[in-house]
Amino acid sequence: MNMNYEKAITNIRNELRKYIQEYKLKALVIGESGGIDSALCTVLVKPVCDELKVSLIGRSITIETNKPDEISRGQAIGEAFCTDFKEVNLTDIYYPIRNSLEMSFTEDNEHVLKLRKGNVKARMRMIYLYDLAQKHGGMVLSTDNYTEYLLGFWTLHGDVGDYGMIQTLWKTEIYALSQYIVDNELITPESKKALQDCIDAVPTDGLGISSSDLDQLGVTTYNEVDRILKLHLEDPGKSDPENPVVKRHIKSTYKRENPYNLERDSIF
């Protein structure tokens, strides 16, 4: 399906405007990871925040494994589009929390250890961002897309916000919409470069789990990921259950059902 980019942008912003006005929000808070999703969300909300005189608060929250290029991209987006931007390093707070948990750093399964440490980092960022939202009378923006949702590329009670503008957009659509904005909407060289750098960057979770999201899926492009997921959703019986993308989608089902509550009929 071809996306009507101008219509999509207008609709996203109109819905956000109505939501802010209905709930009398005074601020929007977003974590600037240096990735394309948070960058696109920041660019999308800026005109609405400017119009309604609502603060757009961005934070680059670095913890141990964030790479210099990620930090630099997050900083560029924050400085170009946010009304209040800071970089906050929580590494010194992370270490005592991590060390107080039941983590054996000599355990055999290094991947599981990376996942556990990554979840701690994501939940620390959540605490920081939600505290800011409470302080300023606002809400935390979600930066997850549909592809990530289907793959479980997010942490329960961690990097999930209050309001998702792009939750139903495929990752390939995220890239296409971002490129459209660079080519047709942004004016200054600084703002164009800030978003373009995020488009061109290697996608990663910033948690130190792998060097790239695609490494975890055994594919080379998100075009391939989205194609596999779409085929599986259309007819699960025709998809390859051993495909890493399909296996991850199935394995992460519990996340999409969270919280799982027993029906009364199952109890009584």
Burial class (CB in 10 A: 0-12, 13-18, 19+), 53: exposed
pLDDT of residue 15: 98
Between CA 233 and CA 248 the distance in angstroms is 13
Q: Which domains does the chain have, with CATH numbers?
A: 5-202 (3.40.50.620)
pLDDT of residue 196: 98
DSSP 25-77: --EEEEE--SSHHHHHHHHHHHHHHHHHT-EEEEEEEE-SS--HHHHHHHHHH
In Å, what is the CA distance from 162 to each residue of 52, 129, 144, 192, 228?
Answer: 19, 11, 11, 28, 29
pLDDT of residue 211: 64
pLDDT of residue 186: 97
Q: What is the pTM of this model?
A: 0.93
Between CA 36 and CA 175 the distance in angstroms is 7
CA dihedral for 12, 161, 61, 118, sign (positive or negative): negative
Amino acid in the structure at residue 122: A
pLDDT of residue 207: 63
Digits of tens for pLDDT over the chain (268 positions)?
A: 578 999 999 999 999 999 999 999 999 999 999 999 999 999 999 999 999 999 999 999 999 989 999 999 999 999 999 999 999 999 999 999 998 887 765 556 788 888 889 999 999 999 999 999 999 999 999 999 999 999 999 999 998 899 999 999 999 999 999 999 999 999 999 999 999 999 999 887 666 666 677 887 888 899 999 999 999 999 999 899 999 999 999 999 999 999 999 999 999 9
pLDDT of residue 214: 84
Q: For residues 203 and 222, is the Cβ–Cβ distance under 8 A?
A: yes
Identify the DSSP state of 137. Answer: T
Amino acid in the structure at residue 144: D
pLDDT of residue 126: 97
- H-helix segments, 82-109: 91-100
